[in-house]
Structure 1
Amino acid sequence: MRLRHKPYAKEKLAEYDQYVVTEALGLKGRWQERFGNENPIHVEIGCGKGQFIINMAKQHPEINFIGIELQTSVIVTALEKQIEEDLPNVQLLQANAADLTEYFEKNKVDRIYLTFSDPWPKNRHEKRRLTYQSFLKVYETILNPEGELHFKTDNQKLFEYSLVSFSHYSAKLKDVYLDLHNSDVTDNVMTEYEEKFSKKGNRIYKAVLTFDSHE
């Protein structure tokens, strides 16, 4: 999908620095200071246009949410939602998932969400998939001992690949849903893509996992 260029995006991100973190390296180990509380930290990697993280934050004011997104023209839409809602427990960070250990200290994140990540279907792009082993190492490092990774997708091949990747990495699967919307889950919050794909009849897959080294 071609991204629509938004020439105002960089300027707007810089203007609203109360919502968008511009000096994340200086916040490593000090994220609670940014939020002004000691609440748990949940990170969404690839927050896209922000629907999921904004709705999660509205439902869970007791949790601090950080939305990570690399694309400027995408994260600015999440910012626009946050400007409207003005939620004290949401911060946005434009960054690459591979670099998260530069922004978060070891064991400081309570939960990570991977929601409808790019499947990168070609074999030569395997290392770009957010469930590839190098990314799992990053997640394992920043998650605390009880921390969880929540992964959702409508892409069956990516889901199957990810289950194998989790297994090879010795991650522990807590829950696996092969048809999330027809399961007993009642508190599911949907992303923009999830709404779009589920309306088309696509099955939604979800996995929740921890890491063996944290046991």
Structure 2
Amino acid sequence: MRLRNNPKAYDIMKENDSFVIIEPEKCKNKWHEVFGNDNPIYIEIGMGKGDFIYQNACRYPDINFIGIEKFPSVLAAAINKVNKQETKVSNMKLIHYDAIELKNIFANGEVDHIFLNFSDPWPKNRHAKRRLTSKQFLSVYQDILVSKGEIEFKTDNRGLFEYSLVSLNQYPMDLLYVSLDLHNSPENETNIMTEYEKKFCEKGPIYKLVARYREDG
């Protein structure tokens, strides 16, 4: 369920510019300068309330994490939640942006890894191009990812998962990992759950895949 509009969302972003990037276009090809190191850059597209990206930043201090959220009220809720955490992290930034425009804020090969967690399934066929694993978005990700960079995708929607398997394979990409029941697999030991995942995992299986763009030749 989407949060109600928060009229103070943009004010909350500006008040937290220590970890919220207000003008991410100015950071293109400069993200390592923003973080002050040369560590790998991992991004989460559609970060929701930020549980996943924050927990990753805590667990992996030698990786830079960027959470990207299209809806300002959702990002504002994430900011407020991060501020309540006892552990403060310096390797995480949050931005308000639309995934289809990511080439405006990341240079070619500037991102090492992409997380897509519980994306909107857009179930109607006429809306297929809006799915974050559609050809249009895969083209954007390919430009900003390093060579052999990976996409990690989780969902509880069987239809979206099947669509994504076909879409990625046809692009073409190589599937490195596929699970039809993540929480009952060995990898669950290291799985970091999103807020949505915690609430709905008991209603059915969680599907996951990891894919890499196929190299020419």
* TM-score normalised per structure 2: 0.95
Instruction: Note the residue ranges of structure 2 that are not aligned, 5 or more in a row.
Output: none
Kept in 2, the 8 Å contact 1:120–1:128? The answer is yes
Indicate the residue corresponding to 2:89 in structure 1. 87
Distance 1:47 1:30 in 2: 22
User: The residue matched to 2:55 in structure 1 has which SS?
Assistant: helix
State the identity %. Answer: 50
Deviations 1:173-194 (A, max 9, x none): 0000010001110210000111
User: The residue matched to 1:11 in structure 2 has which SS?
Assistant: helix
Match of 1:99 among 80, 98, 101: 101
Match of 2:201 among 178, 198, 202: 198
Question: Where do 1:120-199 residues align within 5 Å?
Answer: 120-185=122-187, 186-199=189-202
Distance 2:80 2:37 in 1: 24
User: The residue matched to 1:151 in structure 2 has which SS?
Assistant: strand
- State the 1:214 CA deviation: 6.9
- State the 1:11 CA deviation: 0.8
Indicate the residue corresponding to 2:18 in structure 1. 18
1:40 and 1:2, CA in 2 relative to 1: closer, same or farther beyond 3 A? closer
Indicate the residue corresponding to 2:62 in structure 1. 62
Distance 1:28 1:118 in 2: 27
Distance 2:78 2:134 in 1: 26
- Which contiguous aligned blocks of 4+ residues in structure 1 show a shift greater than 6 angstroms? none
Question: Where do 1:107-122 residues align within 5 Å?
Answer: 107-122=109-124
Indicate the residue corresponding to 2:51 in structure 1. 51
Kept in 2, the 8 Å contact 1:44–1:66? The answer is yes
Stretch moving more, 150-159 or 78-87: 78-87
Distance 2:170 2:41 in 1: 27
Kept in 2, the 8 Å contact 1:113–1:150? The answer is yes
Indicate the residue corresponding to 1:74 in structure 2. 74
Distance 1:204 1:163 in 2: 14
Distance 2:121 2:181 in 1: 18
- State the 1:75 CA deviation: 0.6
Deviations 1:145-193 (A, max 9, x none): 1211000000000000000101110101000001000111021000011
Distance 2:114 2:20 in 1: 19
Kept in 2, the 8 Å contact 1:19–1:82? The answer is no
Kept in 2, the 8 Å contact 1:68–1:95? The answer is yes
- State the 1:84 CA deviation: 3.3
User: The residue matched to 1:210 in structure 2 has which SS?
Assistant: strand
1:8 and 1:127, CA in 2 relative to 1: closer, same or farther beyond 3 A? same
* TM-score normalised per structure 1: 0.96
Instruction: Note the residue ranges of structure 1 that are not aligned, 5 or more in a row.
Output: none
User: The residue matched to 1:62 in structure 2 has which SS?
Assistant: coil
- State the 1:83 CA deviation: 2.4
- State the 1:72 CA deviation: 0.8
